[in-house]
Chain A
Amino acid sequence: MSDTTCLARLLSSAVHDLRNVLAVVRESSGLTADLLRLQEDVRKRDRMLAALSEVQAQVARGALLASAMDLLAQAGSAAEEGTEEEGCDLNQVCQLFCCMAQRLARASVMRLEHVAKDDQDIALGVPAVLAALLKVLDAAAGAGGRVTLRLSAAVRHKQAGVIVEIVDGDNAEAVSAALEPLLVRISGGLQKLLVWRRQGPLFFLPLAEERTS
């Protein structure tokens, strides 16, 4: 068994248990809320219900992280099996990255946002895409951070990659300069094709040829 398979199997097993933990927390807090709603004369009832609602919100946050870890575990297993051509859904991996790297981003007063798009299969494995995105994050952090990076899977000149938009920051200029050597700056026509409201400098991270099915 390779190291990758070992890590993937253990991660998958741990995520399964983590989901069970989240399920118990969700049902127990949900039951407490149900019982509180049945009793109107409980002191500070509304405050307790609000606190339980926050528990539910945190469970949803944990579930999102669990889904991201599931994808990592599957990527590890697929890499070992070698039965399928290497590839991934770029949109899904961008979402995974934003979820898993949020803590790293916060350390540099940054935020990561993902713009949901349709599935986009590319001929590149999950680890390679994550490594490329992490390099972008590190470069932005190295330039002082304090920006929001908005990521979106896209195709440019028949090449699949990720649009990186710098938004909501007082350090956008320095971060733009740091990303310039790594990414392709987008200007002009392509901006008109983008679905979200443009607020800051746009870059393209080229990754692989677009895969058509």
Chain B
Amino acid sequence: MALQILLADDEKDFVDTLAERLRIRDFSVRVVYNGLDAVAAVKESRPAVVILDLFMPGLPGDETLRQITALYHDLPIILLTGQAGVEESFASEELANCACLTKPVALSQLLEQIESMLQGKAGGDRHV
């Protein structure tokens, strides 16, 4: 069964293309464009991994992250954003199952990060 990934980002051109590339690699990808829809999607069906932008309209990214981790505290989440140093805005316990990557990230690096998180390893450049 294909691995389920939830992609949440308001940069439609970016996220739709990334989703297509992941689907070519046999992942099952659901795309949402704001924080409220991201929380609703996680409530509806728990994905294996969430890839989350922190600066989306509607629900702020930090609140989106809190609501998702409140639903599943062990759900792996990759914070993928254009803002450098986002991890400094959070307490370390809030990022227990998170990794931070800065755009533009190579797909190979993103895939390595997904694999590393699913294996429960502290991998990636900025796994926190």
Cβ contact of A31, chosen from B17, B55, B82, B83, cutoff 8 A: B17
Number of residue pairs across A and B with beta carbons under 8 Å? 60
Is B116 on the interface with A (CB-CB < 8 A)? no
Is B24 on the interface with A (CB-CB < 8 A)? yes
Residue of A nearest to B55 (CB): A16
**By the criterion of a CB under 8 Å from any partner CB, how many residues of chain B are at the interface?**
19
Residue of A nearest to B80 (CB): A23
B24 contacts A16, CB within 8 Å?
A: no
Q: Report the bound CA distance from A19 to B85 in whole Å.
A: 13
A17 contacts B82, CB within 8 Å?
A: yes
B18 contacts A70, CB within 8 Å?
A: no
Query: Which chain B residues have a beta carbon within 8 Å of chain A's beta carbons?
Result: 11, 13-14, 17-18, 20-21, 24, 55, 82-85, 102-107
A19 contacts B102, CB within 8 Å?
A: yes
B24 contacts A34, CB within 8 Å?
A: yes
A30 contacts B107, CB within 8 Å?
A: yes
**By the criterion of a CB under 8 Å from any partner CB, how many residues of chain A are at the interface?**
25
A19 contacts B20, CB within 8 Å?
A: no
What are 6 contact pairs spanning A and B, CB under 8 A? A15-B84, A16-B55, A22-B104, A25-B104, A38-B24, A74-B85
A20 contacts B24, CB within 8 Å?
A: no
Q: Report the bound CA distance from A166 to B82 in whole Å.
A: 36
